[in-house]
Structure 1
Amino acid sequence: MKIIYLFLILSMVYPDSTSNIFDFKSKEDTNNWYVINDGVMGGFSSSSLEIKPDGKALFKGHVTTENNGGFASVRYTFTKKEVSKFTYIVLRIKGDGKDYQFRIKEEQEQRHSYIAPFSTSGKWEVIKIPLSKFYPSFRGNTLDIPNFSGKSMEEIAFLIANKTKEFFQLEIESISLE
């Protein structure tokens, strides 16, 4: 009986300090993941998201700057998540040495996103991005409004837009809050 009380006390004093947003090893359902490329603006970039047999997602494709193009993205929408008790987004990824953006929307309907750029090394790595560093942007322009409030989110995204023609591939194992 004392062990149960000790466990309850410890769980109140040291609550779970992480929360998964998506873990591809435990979820194979990608129904709420969708690709949006520069074709929405007339461009010709292409990309896809696939689940590999080892339980990781592969976001890959080709970005081209032809016809005002230049970006590829994959987005995930979910029920609004309260995130005020967290400080970081934590990405477990393997990139190709290229630069990407991780994006957050507080509400799926809002037009702007909160952006944090990150670089990949070509190896499996954990990238921790402070939520306070996500700045507001719309169509490549930084907005004159405050950074991400850190209160809630309904959508996340990965985007590549390096102003160059390039093939890319980003493996994603998990996305969590810490």
Structure 2
Amino acid sequence: MSKLRSLWKAYVNTTKKALAWNVEEWIPPTEKYIFNFNSKQEVKKWHLYSDSEYGGLSSASLEISETGNELRGVFSGNLSLDVSGNSKLNITRSGFCGMRSKKFDGFVDLDLYDSIAMKVRGDGRCYISTIYTENWVNSPGQEEDNSWQAFFLAPKGDWYITKIPFDRYLPTWRGHVIDSELEMNPSRIVGMSLSINAAGGIPGARSGPGDFQVEIDWIKALRTQ
């Protein structure tokens, strides 16, 4: 009987350890780095765009700034509402710039997270965070990645961590909300971008043409629940 009890006790202990290991393995960390601007190689993961591609006169740059032993990304430039007289395109709006990540190698799966967080130091302007997901429409002429956008304020002065829940990202098509009832699939993320529009977007934020600058330390996914 004592041998049977010993075997049963050993079995229970082994099962408890296995269950504990499985639970720890299944629960993801509460945060996951997506981009970390701590290397001069980081800028190679991004490309810039602006209204200058369509005849506008806005400009932007992305650099890694070094202060002491710390490296930070700096997205800066100038927003212009003017249009080049040599433009062959009849654009209806100007005054925007952005930085978009190169397409991920495969997908980034953030299904177990619920928010995007960014550590920034800005200029009081409103910026736009965009998440690109795999296209859910398989039809000719609709081959672009789906885009989901949310506004956030980059306060001037101290570093600030902005947290944007996934449910605040709205589906958009070329800057216009298309259907607020659609839901993002966070398991099929193919890229991200950060952009700015001279028109602003949040009451009280600095807006209009002129210089802009936001420093970026990192971009993470968070699990807050």
Question: When the two structures are aligned, how many residues end up with a matched partner?
Answer: 175
Per-residue Cα deviation, 1:16-49 (whole angstroms, up to 9, x for no partner): 1211111112673322211011112211100000
Correspondent of 1:25 among 31, 34, 38: 38
Amino acid at match of 1:72: C
Runs of 4+ in 1 over 4 A off after TM superposition: 5-10
Q: CA deviation at 1:170?
A: 0.5
The runs of 5 or more residues in structure 1 that have no matched partner are: none
Amino acid at match of 2:169: F
Structure having the higher strand fraction is: 1
- Equivalent in the alignment of 2:160: 125
Correspondent of 1:170 among 184, 192, 214: 214
For the pair shown, which has the larger CA radius of gyration, 1 or 2? 2
Structure 1 residue 135 and structure 2 residue 170: aligned? yes
| Cα distance in structure 1, aligned partners of 2:72 and 2:169 | 25
- Equivalent in the alignment of 2:192: 156
Q: Percent identity over the alignment? A: 27
Q: CA deviation at 1:161?
A: 0.3
Provide TM-score, normalisation by structure 1. Answer: 0.87
Provide TM-score, normalisation by structure 2. Answer: 0.70
The runs of 5 or more residues in structure 2 that have no matched partner are: 1-16, 84-92, 136-142, 200-207
- Equivalent in the alignment of 1:93: 120
Structure 1 residue 62 and structure 2 residue 78: aligned? yes
| Cα distance in structure 2, aligned partners of 1:59 and 1:22 | 14
Q: Decide which moves more: 117-126 or 102-111.
A: 102-111
- Equivalent in the alignment of 1:107: 134
Correspondent of 2:56 among 43, 54, 60: 43
| Cα distance in structure 2, aligned partners of 1:70 and 1:24 | 26
Structure having the higher helix fraction is: 2
